[in-house]
Structure 1
Amino acid sequence: MAIAISVAMLYLPAQASAQQATSAAAGSQGVDQAVPSKVAARKAKADQKKAATQLGEVVVTGIRASVEKAQDIKRDADTFVDSLSATDIGALPDRSVTETLSRIPGVTIDHFISQGDPEHFSAEGNGVQVRGLTQVRSELNGGDSFSANGGRALSFQDVPSELMSGVDVYKNQTAAMIEGGLGGTVNLRTFMPFDFQGQKVAASVSENYGNFVKKYKPSASVLYSNRWHTSLGEMGFLVDLADSRLATRTDGLFVRPFFKNAGGTWVPRGADWRTLLYDRKRDGAYMAFQWRPSDNLDLYATAFQSKYHEVWDEDAIFVSNDPTQVMVDPSQPSEINGGVFQSGRLTQNGGMPMGTDIRASSSHSKTTDFSTGMKWRLGTSTEVTSSLQFVRATTNSLDSTVALGTNVPYIDVALNGSSPPHIGVDSAFTGDPANYYWGFTMDHQVQNYAKELAWRADIDHSFADGFVQGLKGGVRLTNRYANNIDTGYNWKPVFQTWMQYWALPGGVPLPGLDLNGTVNTSLVHLDKFNNFYKGGAGIPGAFYAPLLSTALGYPTSYQDIHAAADPFYTCCYAGTYQNTVLDAAHTNVQHEKTYAAYGMLEFGVDDAHLSGNVGVRAVRTTNAGQGFLVFPNQPLAPYLGAGQTAPINARNEYTDILPSLNLKWEFAPNLITRFAFSKAIARPDFSQMQAYQILNADVLSGYTPPPGTTTLPLDKLTLTGNSNSNPYLTPMKANQFDLSLEWYFDPDRGGMAWVNFFHKGIRDYFRNESRFVTYPGVDGNNYQYLITRPVNVGKATIDGVEIGWNEFFDFLPVKGFGMSANYTYIRSRTHVPNDTTAVPVDTDGSGYGSLPADGLSRDSLNVAGFYEHGPWQIRLAYNWRSQYLLSIGPNGYNGTDNNIPWKLPVFADAYGQLDGSIFYSFNEHVKLGLEMNNLNNAEQRTIMYQNASGKHITSWYVNDTRYALTLRATF
């Protein structure tokens, strides 16, 4: 009892109902059709149970009802499924789909704006992994759904959670499920008109507040649904609209990688700090129509649109110096332990070059889905279903950075273990605009478009008696087109310290901000970093930085800055600034078709309480990519080319055979064991299949051509090529196994516990490899180039266990308390031979041992409790995941110094966040509540490991605690 009371105020938003795996995979719509209606003996018992527990309406409005229904779904499912449902219409347990997914066992999320970027924190989270794998298939009502981001999956943060009725995560699969989920499949469910007995109206309004950004943002949603009996049969119509807005602020501090200086001391390159303001607007609209002209026929049509506008801007101060020249000022107190810097004053001759920038990112994404389908029941044992779907997605974004430069006299740094470090500079120096110069500009543009047409048809026949209880089969055809334009990051210097002895007059000071009165101090401001790190780290110092309007003024502002700087150059760097062109060189065109067919047999022995299914799915994939081959532009090798281009029309075809087996056995009352085996695939992202290759011809290192040389022989050249894509990639593949034991110790009150063991054996990883490839020269001969690009190579194994428990403490004298908890353990091993780009190298050139798979935490945990009694509904939920590898050599953690190319592994430290809500129901129609996120003011940290200098925390982030005052009404 004492333990129960101590956790009584904890709550994990209840796991709730999901369609059975085969039903969702087939795209079933509406509760009346959630499970194919069959009168055969194999379904009669389940249908009777559902009818007995069916309420007047199928809307789950209570936490206990949600948990109990989730229990029923898990118990009755024919494969491994975990789900969460909205406790009210338009009310998933969290403010975003991404956060909701993190509550499900085996599912984790990143808290960074983009995967592999450790420098930008995300309040709502990003990057969903299932059992440690990012190759996750995304679905909407059992059909394809995706964002136009160069990949194949949906960006879950783009989707309004207010439109969702629930989320299902499939850990294994049946032959009837659509292929592509190597880690798992996430299905987003919406309501349908036949989910309700008659008219339904629901609305909610929220006012969101972040205590760090100190801004209010509204959210609202409204749903109307009704159904009618007409002379043409029963009809239903539903419309659902949502608008959600959010503003947050994140402050971060960084200590950069350590280098061994001339004195033999390991010293950090320097320290940075930054403030990021984030603002997003998420809109959604959804309509659904259902028509039942007769008892044997159901028809439906849906239209879904999600729009996402994300804007963030960042003031950053960062080191841009030569790390090998940093030294510890001997005139100031310092602490060196074991040859590794702990605290002191960092400096270097001529001052430490730093950059101060304003970075603005604006992105617009839209996904539209039109779907229609039918279900036709032929007699009492056969039904035919068919659906047609069209999906269209677009993304347009601009990421613009304008930076100043300054050479600060010193940086004071004091490292204090896991606490934020103390950082200080000469404020008198940084507060004087005369000490700055224009540093660089950088733009990154994305313009993506994708569309797909998909059709499927299925037939399901059941038998009343015998071991074989049903046969299913079907076909699915897709036609998908993607046109993605990504310019990359176009970094162009204005003035840099290394130009002083090259492009500028030797040794003169870098030109100041006022360049002949053309670009002056009116374009910058003094950033004082008010309330920095919520007062928890002090104010490192105020800096001048460009105004936000300067970054948003691209391309005019870029042209003005570079034009004003050009007269200062004395050699080859002068010239009119050229805008980044969205041309064919940056374009990736892909056209993919798939042809799938499956057959599945359902079997069972009723007396032994044994059931299962076995089947096979075959899918043929054809892909065509269009792009360009760029020949070398080496004046001393005219026979190789002169930079001209040739079209590439790459075509790739492959067939995958995907068997599956699922078994379920209730060997004792309320004790069920399950086993599943399946073969899964994950096709490469479209960004990994771009048909684009640049060829290079460089003079051998150390060789100087004699004067007057016009042509070099082949043995004096190095022929290479690097590419981030390969149009001939084939899918990653996995053999996956699940084995579980489920104990329903209190089946009438939602009490259950389970343990699930899983194994994935993965092959054909996507990793870079160097191979000799033959290309023609302009002289008609063929030449071999050493090409580095991604190929299918390497293996991995992932093993783990998921443990869960739900219980209501009805034995307590005070009713209404309950608890839910789940824990996941994952271990991975990888073997990737000949990998040339993902191998970490320390700043002294030393290598590392094996590293875990990126994005994979060994441990993750959800612990929660709730109180629901009378008008009150209180819940608290804690979500935690252990350390995991973010990236190898991301921005700020790679370079070449002392002729040593280095790239460091960066890990996200363990992170846990506490969320909660309190609601009061005035009556059965209206409730008012407070929803809260990040109540524990969690600090996200990242870690870098270096061989000689050891483990270091490299960054610290704090974010808002968010509150939403919410009013909900249902009629």
Structure 2
Amino acid sequence: MKKTLYQQKQQENVTKHNAFKYSLIALAIIGLSSVSANAADETNKKAKEEAIEVIEVKGQRGNLISAQNMKMNADTVMDAISAADMGSMPDRSVLEAISRMPGVAIERFAAADDPDHFGVEGGGVVVRGLTHVRSEFNGRDAFSADSGRGLGFQDISPELMGSVEVFKNQTADMIEGGIAGTVNLNTRKAFDADGRVFSFSADVTYTDLREETAPTFSVLYSDIWTTDIGRFGFLANFSHSEIKVESNGVQAGKYEQQEWDNSKYVPQSARLSKKQDDKERDGFATSLQWENTAKTIVLTGEFIRSQATLAWNENAIEMDDGDSKVNLKPVDGTSFDFDDNGTFENGIITSEAGWRGDGSPQRYGMQHTMVTRVRNEESIVNDYSFNAKFTPNDSLAINFDVQYIYATMAIEDVSVMGATRAVVGMDLRGSGLPKISLLHPAYDGQADHTPGTPFTDPSTNFWRSAMDHISDNEGEEFATRLDIEYTFDNSIVKSIELGARYSNRQQTTRQSTYNWGVLSEAWADHNIWYADTDVPYDEVSFDNFARGGVLNTEGGNTFLFPSLSMVQNYSGLNDALAGAKAVAWGWNPLADRDDATGHFVGNEINVTQEESTAFYAKLNFEGDFSGMDYSANIGLRYVRLDNTTDGFISYPDDVPKNDKDIANVLNAEQAAFGNNASIVTQSIGQYTKVLPSVNFKLNLTDELLVRFAFSEAIALPSLGNLRNYVSIGGADQRVTFDPNVPEGDEPVPIYAEYERYTASSGNPLLKPMESYNYDLSLEWYFAEAGSLTSTLFYKDISNYFVNGFTYNDYTNNGVTQEVEVAGATNGGKGTIAGFEVSYQQFFDALPGAFSGLGVQLNYTHINEDGSPNSGLNNSSSDSDEAGDIAFTDLPLQGLSEQNANAALLYEKFGISARIAYNWRSDYLLTTRDVITKLPIYNTANGQLDASIFWDVSDNWKIGMQGTNLNNNITETEMQVNQQGDKVTRSWFTNDRRYSLVVKATF
């Protein structure tokens, strides 16, 4: 956010603020002891100069002073964290760092709509219960090239930051888009320091579940040179971070009502997963600055590059939750235990579902898929900017800014599935992790049965299926702005600010379907067993799964999975799987599809261009009211958005694939309509809005102030939901079979038709969400690093992004059909209300070593009323389709009613330590899980982290950091009915991380 001249000067003096108060104390002592007034004056001047130069508060206390001053002097409601404070905790990304701020929470899953895949470092930011958060670099637009709007904070190295500001309301000069809030990442610049600075840090992190180590290091150099033509400054900052972590997950399948007793509900077996994440971040920031000798011109050129790669692989043993298996039953000689609601708690489960290799029904055991999955993601953001500040006199300030940002994101996601059969024992009683047993499919409840080792027997494991998905996105934006401020003398109106901004953003989204295809199945000709091919597979041990005590498998906890190295080699995968294919029409890579260009067909490529034009006017006030100082600003911001989106209408693919395809007997009109055609379309939309804002701050005393903020704000829809596409398919197919075929022979279809057509779509005409935001805060700054603040907030929101249904006629190949279209639309109203309380203090009055103790606490309580859930996927998981929400009256997705942070600090004798606990209450993770189609909740949980540093000298410090010291188990629950009853869905464990850190500054 652009600062006024007065605020800029205040910000520059933040580091001297503490020294000033100490100098006043020194002056008072000298004044009392002086003999002569003149001598006292001279001594005072000298003491003041020396005090300002020498006294500087560093460490945790200095970090808190810096952040506290940023909050106190802000134009609107905000919180901040300094770079040094981020480095004092074991946070590997900006996302982890800001989760310790009031009202800020993060997700712990790779994507909210995919709660089967735990993300150790998290993957999304929520401010005051809302996900519509705007992201900025140095007050400028910043984004990752996914289908969303903002920056992937989990990809940004905290070592690049000078500070992070979280604005929770707005002023007229702020760029539009942050209903929930705006997170501004300020990078360091050469003129931030008085002279040369050289610093570096290095650490090595050990993860106890993965049992591996990974390094992190950063280096910064900056210097200032004074010449005859002015002052030059140069800064370069580089960071490299690696982390190697593992998460283990246990999941209960979707609970099904049983035919043998419709009051009983039994889960469809269990899912076990071992997921390993390898994450690397490289960050680089450099700036070149020049200030003329008259100090009226400052020029700054900056380049920021963030590159993050995440490679994860997973071995998972799973059932297909999507299949209806109502005939689950206890193994002969055993029984089930149920709770009072008829929900399964314990027992050994088997089923008659499935097929033998020869096509006949299988008596015992359930088919389990053995998945090897590999996902590689790379996100790159390049940000170039130039800024010129011109202050020809004390009254006028001109700011010119230009920026170009280019971002790419590529994803390669490949899975190969084998399968075998097993009987499953599940004990879900009590708290903590469940107990899972995998038994031979012929297990009959008898102790003397002959189990064999089917899980490591290549003759009882077969090649089942494969799936690939590719995403290749790129986005670029050019933006420029001009701001002018004129300051008045001796007036209630302190200054007037006028400004204009223009940006042109273009994004190309290439996202393939999830291309699943069969390799071999009994229903697809026959099974191909591992033993009958040379297709590679691995033996994978689950011995230490979830740190032990969870899994017990007959014959040992070792299983056969498709080879990890084979799946990682995507370019050679089709050839490697040649011997595993029973049918030619089964899985083939994306690039082998008809009409594919590279990995994509036409309707998987979307181009969106968005132009934004904004003007603002802002009046700044300051004065005295009944002996109390006040400051205020009032402004209007005009916004115009022009959106042009290219896209496609794709029609059903009912072209017969072989002579057994039911499409051969499809209704003639529907067969003509479903000729797999695609039609190019283009959509143009426009939106204009005037956004008012008012901010008022009254200093009740030197330490106590009250603040009021009001603004109207908008949140822009995700680019994924703006995609211009309609994908039509047939639904509820009815088939008539030849009645003359003898009983026992294979049925012969003679006629087929769809009862209806359905479609998923984007909406390039989707309007922004709109909100009226109100904040009222009382802030008590009773010490340099001591404050107690409380804020009431209220948001009145309309135009939510929701999934809606329309009925439209589409004509193709001479045939017109009515289509039920599900896609993004605007609808609904709601309110978000709550309060935040934050407290921090060092207890200097305690005796001796105890005077180094301090505390930080914050708590947020949020209530929501009336907000509709979208039913849309707004994550970056590359699927923007809408879907039906199973139940009504769900809480707002992503909103925890309570968020809290507590930290115990210590700083004395060169030792700086902190132990911190981050907690949030339960919340709705997704309205529609991609597997069960049910709402999934994240239960309340918290994580304990700690750090301790020792100042070896004025320049060197060493330290230890620990993450997840409480071995937090993340649990999810699935809602099973409209009444809101829930059962546990999953339990995830992950690494405890320990780091040894060395830092130096010269």
TM over 0.5: yes
Count of aligned residue pairs for this structure pair: 900
Give matches, 1:308-707, under 5 Å.
308-320=308-320, 322-338=324-340, 339-349=342-352, 350=362, 351-408=365-422, 410-426=423-439, 428-496=453-521, 499=523, 503-504=524-525, 510-515=527-532, 517=533, 519-520=534-535, 523-540=536-553, 541-561=557-577, 564-566=580-582, 579=592, 581-606=599-624, 607-632=627-652, 636-637=668-669, 640=673, 642-696=675-729, 701=734
Residues 1:656 and 1:55: Cα distance change in structure 2 (over 3 Å): farther
Pair 1:939-2:978 in alignment: no
Amino acid corresponding to residue 625 of structure 1 in structure 2: T
Distance 1:908 1:403 in 2: 28
Distance 2:203 2:383 in 1: 27
Amino acid corresponding to residue 613 of structure 1 in structure 2: N
Distance 2:974 2:731 in 1: 35
TM-score in terms of structure 2 length: 0.85
Partner of 2:994: 963
Pair 1:216-2:213 in alignment: yes
CA shift at 1:90, angstroms? 6.3
TM-score in terms of structure 1 length: 0.88
Distance 1:48 1:511 in 2: 74
CA contact under 8 A between 1:310 and 1:362: conserved in structure 2?
yes
CA shift at 1:334, angstroms? 3.3
Pair 1:810-2:844 in alignment: yes
Give matches, 1:69-218, under 5 Å.
69-87=66-84, 94-218=91-215
CA contact under 8 A between 2:871 and 2:928: conserved in structure 1?
no
Distance 1:179 1:704 in 2: 60
CA shift at 1:313, angstroms? 0.6
SS in 2 for 1:121: coil
Distance 1:125 1:58 in 2: 40
Distance 2:295 2:497 in 1: 22
CA contact under 8 A between 1:918 and 1:929: conserved in structure 2?
yes
Partner of 1:11: none
CA contact under 8 A between 2:19 and 2:56: conserved in structure 1?
no
Distance 1:246 1:366 in 2: 18
Residues 1:57 and 1:252: Cα distance change in structure 2 (over 3 Å): farther
Q: Which moved more, 1:210-219 or 1:639-648?
A: 639-648
SS in 1 for 2:574: helix
Residues 1:296 and 1:58: Cα distance change in structure 2 (over 3 Å): farther
Pair 1:819-2:833 in alignment: no
Residues 1:249 and 1:833: Cα distance change in structure 2 (over 3 Å): closer
CA shift at 1:139, angstroms? 0.5
Q: Give % identity.
A: 33
CA shift at 1:735, angstroms? 1.0
CA contact under 8 A between 1:566 and 1:574: conserved in structure 2?
no
CA contact under 8 A between 2:732 and 2:756: conserved in structure 1?
no
SS in 1 for 2:159: helix
For residues 29-60 of structure 1, the C-alpha deviation after alignment (integer angstroms, 9 at most, x for no partner) is: xxxx894459xxxx999999689479659997
Residues 1:405 and 1:736: Cα distance change in structure 2 (over 3 Å): same
CA shift at 1:641, angstroms? 6.8
Residues 1:853 and 1:121: Cα distance change in structure 2 (over 3 Å): same
CA contact under 8 A between 1:594 and 1:620: conserved in structure 2?
yes
Partner of 2:446: none
CA shift at 1:565, angstroms? 2.1
CA shift at 1:811, angstroms? 1.7
CA contact under 8 A between 1:624 and 1:650: conserved in structure 2?
yes
Residues 1:699 and 1:145: Cα distance change in structure 2 (over 3 Å): closer
From 856, 865, 884, the equivalent of 1:829 is 865
Larger Cα Rg: Structure 1 or Structure 2?
2
For residues 209-237 of structure 1, the C-alpha deviation after alignment (integer angstroms, 9 at most, x for no partner) is: 11111111111111110001112210100
Amino acid corresponding to residue 192 of structure 2 in structure 1: D
CA contact under 8 A between 1:117 and 1:886: conserved in structure 2?
no
Amino acid corresponding to residue 379 of structure 2 in structure 1: S
Distance 1:575 1:170 in 2: 49
CA contact under 8 A between 1:563 and 1:576: conserved in structure 2?
no
Partner of 2:36: none
Distance 2:653 2:911 in 1: 73
Pair 1:801-2:835 in alignment: yes
CA contact under 8 A between 1:182 and 1:680: conserved in structure 2?
yes
From 741, 748, 757, the equivalent of 2:792 is 757
Distance 1:633 1:315 in 2: 33
SS in 2 for 1:435: coil
Residues 1:603 and 1:566: Cα distance change in structure 2 (over 3 Å): same
Residues 1:124 and 1:187: Cα distance change in structure 2 (over 3 Å): same
Cα RMSD over matched residues? 2.9
Residues 1:605 and 1:344: Cα distance change in structure 2 (over 3 Å): same
CA shift at 1:959, angstroms? 0.9
Amino acid corresponding to residue 824 of structure 1 in structure 2: T
Partner of 1:726: 763
For residues 484-523 of structure 1, the C-alpha deviation after alignment (integer angstroms, 9 at most, x for no partner) is: 11113111111345x1xxx326xxxx331244x4x44xx1
CA contact under 8 A between 1:78 and 1:662: conserved in structure 2?
yes
Partner of 2:898: 859
CA shift at 1:439, angstroms? 1.0
CA contact under 8 A between 2:418 and 2:465: conserved in structure 1?
yes
CA contact under 8 A between 1:613 and 1:663: conserved in structure 2?
yes
Pair 1:954-2:985 in alignment: yes
CA contact under 8 A between 2:83 and 2:158: conserved in structure 1?
no
Distance 1:878 1:46 in 2: 29
Partner of 1:770: 805
Residues 1:967 and 1:48: Cα distance change in structure 2 (over 3 Å): closer
Q: Which moved more, 1:602-611 or 1:215-224?
A: 602-611
CA contact under 8 A between 1:57 and 1:197: conserved in structure 2?
no
SS in 1 for 2:720: helix
Partner of 1:297: 297
Residues 1:283 and 1:47: Cα distance change in structure 2 (over 3 Å): closer
Residues 1:649 and 1:704: Cα distance change in structure 2 (over 3 Å): farther
For residues 436-473 of structure 1, the C-alpha deviation after alignment (integer angstroms, 9 at most, x for no partner) is: 11111011111011111100000011112222211111
CA contact under 8 A between 2:66 and 2:82: conserved in structure 1?
no
For residues 319-368 of structure 1, the C-alpha deviation after alignment (integer angstroms, 9 at most, x for no partner) is: 13642231122412432333322111100122201100111111111101
In the alignment, structure 2 segments of 5+ residues that lack a partner are 22-50, 353-361, 441-452, 594-598, 655-666, 741-749, 873-881
Distance 1:576 1:358 in 2: 17
For residues 790-827 of structure 1, the C-alpha deviation after alignment (integer angstroms, 9 at most, x for no partner) is: 11111221111101111111121132111110000111
CA contact under 8 A between 1:441 and 1:558: conserved in structure 2?
no
CA shift at 1:79, angstroms? 0.2
For residues 948-969 of structure 1, the C-alpha deviation after alignment (integer angstroms, 9 at most, x for no partner) is: 8943221111111111111101
Amino acid corresponding to residue 577 of structure 2 in structure 1: I
CA contact under 8 A between 1:58 and 1:195: conserved in structure 2?
no
In the alignment, structure 1 segments of 5+ residues that lack a partner are 1-20, 27-32, 842-847, 894-902
Q: Greater RCO between the two (CA within 8 Å, min separation 6)?
A: 1
CA contact under 8 A between 2:710 and 2:773: conserved in structure 1?
yes
Partner of 1:29: none
Distance 2:751 2:368 in 1: 42
